[in-house]
């Protein structure tokens, strides 16, 4: 507290004696001229190493070429490679994938506490079938027997659709049985 009072008292005593005016025009040039004219003063000039500038430009250009080359030589996705091998597969895959996705959404919407285990097991099986399908795609790209692999890919989608249809039928049976039980209970 006493230190604050001392500092405040010091500023109060110095009030009005601060130089708040800006130096006149050309002040810096006059100061530098006086500084350079004084005896015994050694001028320090920065050492010029301009070798880094062309090197940084060259490195930037190489980086741009590297990025450009990686963009143009990037490998196509698996779907693009499969479409290149067999365009019909791409169209069939699109059709089946939309059908399966629609049924999965319907299945998830029908999930109730009574059917939760059944829905979860079905989603797990569908995940396994999806992984199997990805392996088939990779086999097709690697040059396996294309007719056999394409047949297996279609069978994979048909299996998914059949599984989903069977589960939806079971869910309908569960709902019907539940409604039937609720109707027969008398109070």
Kindly report, residue by residue over 128-172, the tens digit of the pLDDT: 999 998 898 888 778 777 788 888 888 998 999 899 899 999 988
CB 98 within 8 A of CB 160: no
Among left, alpha and beta (phi > 0; psi -120 to 50; other), residue 143 is left
Detail the DSSP E strand segments found in the chain. none
Q: Which residue has the tokens 């001392």?
A: 6
Give the residue, 40 or 125, on which the prediction is more confident.
Answer: 125
Structure tokens at 113: 């506490």
Which two structure tokens, joined as six digits, stand for 67?
């990025």
**Average pLDDT of the residues in 58-70:** 81
Q: Which two tokens stand for residue 181?
A: 């039980």
Q: How many residues does the chain have?
A: 187
CA torsion through residues 148, 167, 96, 101, sign? negative
Query: What pLDDT was estimated at residue 84?
Result: 66
pLDDT (tens digit, 9 = 90+) per residue, 15-51? Answer: 777 777 777 888 888 888 887 776 665 666 656 666 7
The DSSP result for 126-174, as a single string, is: HHHHHHHHHHHHHHHHTT--HHHHHHHHHHHHHHHHHHHHHHHHHHHHH
């Amino acid at each position: 507290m006493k230190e604050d009072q001392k500092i405040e008292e010091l500023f109060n005593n110095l009030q009005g004696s601060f130089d708040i005016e800006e130096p006149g025009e050309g002040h810096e040039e006059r100061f530098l001229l006086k500084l350079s004219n004084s005896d015994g003063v050694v001028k320090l000039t920065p050492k010029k190493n301009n070798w880094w500038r062309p090197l940084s430009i060259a490195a930037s250009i190489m980086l741009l070429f590297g990025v450009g080359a990686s963009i143009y030589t990037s490998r196509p996705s698996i779907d693009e490679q499969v479409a290149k091998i067999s365009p019909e597969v791409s169209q069939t895959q699109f059709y089946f994938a939309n059908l399966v996705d629609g049924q999965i959404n319907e299945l998830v919407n029908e999930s109730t506490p009574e059917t939760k285990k059944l829905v979860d097991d079905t989603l797990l099986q569908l995940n396994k079938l999806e992984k199997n399908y990805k392996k088939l795609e990779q086999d097709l790209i690697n040059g396996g027997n294309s007719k056999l692999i394409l047949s297996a890919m279609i069978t994979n989608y048909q299996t998914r659709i059949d599984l989903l249809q069977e589960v939806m039928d079971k869910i309908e049976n569960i709902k019907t049985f539940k409604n039937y039980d609720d109707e027969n209970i008398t109070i």
